[in-house]
């Protein structure tokens, strides 16, 4: 890479350049990568297009970051529902679905394989938003609030997003995941893949996705 940049008269900012080894191993892999006369420092996480990628691809740092941003944006709902504004549930729902929920769903298909304990943290943020929208107490059942407010569970929306993305990839032969989604799922690793998630959802929703007879 260094030689290529020299040949084409380009320069890489060595101060801002870092390296990360992505591996399922629990031990940290120490790798020394040299760029020119400088060793690139190694980092446990990298941010790419607003998504935080950790070395073990657990998606935990990304989801934690989304959770914190979601809670920060909930403060707007609380102000609108205060005694000075007293916004209606309809307005509060619009604000939630337009500002808070997109934060909790950014790049869903990229972290669809995250463990349930991680994604549950995002569900908890939505539950907080529902209580603010409806003015309910903590003891109010979540399913009741979702039905009253007309807000889908985040888990259902995530599954729908994965199904949509999978169907798009199947129709794009040049997509890097096209062939991978056609292959048989492998279970040699203790980590599910997007292929596992997609096929599981196809199985669960087979009655809905099956073509209707003419």
pLDDT recorded at residue 148: 95
Q: Which secondary-structure segment (H or E) carries 183?
A: none
Claim to verify: residue 63 and residue 103 sit in the same structural domain:
yes
- Compute the distance between CA of residue 53 and CA of residue 60 in angstroms, rounded to an integer: 9
Banded model confidence at residue 164, pLDDT cuts 50, 70, 90: confident
pLDDT recorded at residue 128: 95
Claim to verify: residue 63 and residue 21 sit in the same structural domain:
no
Least confident range from 81-90, 118-127, 180-189: namely 180-189
Claim to verify: residue 201 and residue 112 sit in the same structural domain:
no
Q: Tell me whether residue 211 is in a domain.
A: no
For the stretch 9-54, pLDDT in tens is: 998 888 888 899 988 887 777 888 888 788 889 998 998 888 889 9
Q: Tell me whether residue 194 is in a domain.
A: yes
Claim to verify: residue 151 and residue 165 sit in the same structural domain:
no
What's the whole-number average pLDDT of the chain?
85
Mean pLDDT of 201-211: 70
User: If you search the block for the tokens 């199947």, which residue do you land on?
Assistant: 170
Max mean pLDDT range (84-88, 114-118, 125-129, 180-184): 125-129
- Percent of the chain at pLDDT > 90 equals 34
pLDDT recorded at residue 131: 95
Name the domain count of the chain.
3
Strand ranges, E, within 8-165: 33-35, 38-40, 45-48, 51-54
Phi/psi zone of residue 135: left (φ > 0), alpha (ψ -120 to 50 degrees), beta?
A: left
Q: Find all residues with CB under 8 Å of 48, minimum gap 6, and list them.
A: none
3-state class (DSSP) for residue 53: strand
Mean pLDDT of 133-148: 93
Claim to verify: residue 61 and residue 38 sit in the same structural domain:
no
Claim to verify: residue 70 and residue 110 sit in the same structural domain:
yes
Q: Tell me whether residue 214 is in a domain.
A: no
- Compute the distance between CA of residue 175 and CA of residue 168 in angstroms, rounded to an integer: 9
Q: Tell me whether residue 122 is in a domain.
A: yes
Q: Tell me whether residue 121 is in a domain.
A: yes
Claim to verify: residue 148 and residue 132 sit in the same structural domain:
yes
Of 132, 155, 178, the position where a domain reaches its end is 155
Claim to verify: residue 9 and residue 97 sit in the same structural domain:
no
Cβ neighbourhood burial of 125 (10 Å; 0-12, 13-18, 19+) = buried
For the stretch 93-111, pLDDT in tens is: 999 999 999 999 998 888 8
Phi/psi zone of residue 57: left (φ > 0), alpha (ψ -120 to 50 degrees), beta?
A: left
Cβ neighbourhood burial of 186 (10 Å; 0-12, 13-18, 19+) = exposed
Claim to verify: residue 149 and residue 167 sit in the same structural domain:
no
pLDDT recorded at residue 195: 76
Q: Tell me whether residue 52 is in a domain.
A: no
For the stretch 179-191, pLDDT in tens is: 877 776 665 555 6
Banded model confidence at residue 129, pLDDT cuts 50, 70, 90: very high
Asked if residues 40 and 19 have their Cβ atoms less than 8 Å apart, the reply is yes
Claim to verify: residue 80 and residue 149 sit in the same structural domain:
yes
Is 7's pLDDT higher than 60? yes
Taking each helix axis from N to C end, the angle separating 116-134 and 60-80, rounded to the nearest 10 degrees, works out to 0
Banded model confidence at residue 61, pLDDT cuts 50, 70, 90: very high
Claim to verify: residue 89 and residue 140 sit in the same structural domain:
yes
Q: Tell me whether residue 50 is in a domain.
A: no
Q: Tell me whether residue 48 is in a domain.
A: no
Claim to verify: residue 116 and residue 173 sit in the same structural domain:
no
> Which domain does 26 fall in, by range?
2-43
- Compute the distance between CA of residue 82 and CA of residue 156 in angstroms, rounded to an integer: 30
Alpha carbon distances (Å) from 72 to 50, 108, 151, 196? 17, 20, 20, 33
């Amino acid at each position: 890479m260094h030689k290529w940049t020299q040949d084409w008269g380009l320069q890489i900012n060595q101060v801002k350049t870092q390296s990360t080894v992505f591996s399922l191993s629990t031990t940290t892999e120490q790798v020394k990568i040299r760029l020119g006369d400088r060793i690139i420092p190694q980092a446990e996480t990298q941010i790419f297009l607003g998504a935080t990628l950790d070395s073990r691809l657990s998606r935990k740092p990304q989801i934690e970051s989304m959770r914190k941003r979601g809670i920060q944006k909930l403060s707007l709902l609380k102000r609108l529902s205060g005694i000075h504004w007293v916004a209606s549930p309809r307005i509060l729902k619009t604000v939630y679905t337009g500002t808070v929920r997109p934060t909790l769903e950014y790049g869903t298909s990229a972290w669809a394989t995250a463990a349930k304990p991680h994604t549950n943290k995002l569900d908890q943020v939505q539950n907080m938003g529902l209580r603010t929208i409806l003015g309910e107490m903590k003891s109010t059942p979540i399913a009741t609030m979702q039905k009253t407010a007309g807000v889908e569970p985040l888990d259902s929306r995530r599954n729908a997003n994965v199904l949509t993305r999978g169907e798009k990839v199947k129709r794009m032969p040049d997509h890097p995941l096209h062939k991978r989604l056609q292959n048989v799922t492998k279970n040699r690793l203790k980590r599910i893949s997007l292929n596992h998630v997609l096929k599981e959802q196809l199985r669960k929703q087979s009655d809905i996705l099956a073509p209707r007879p003419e």
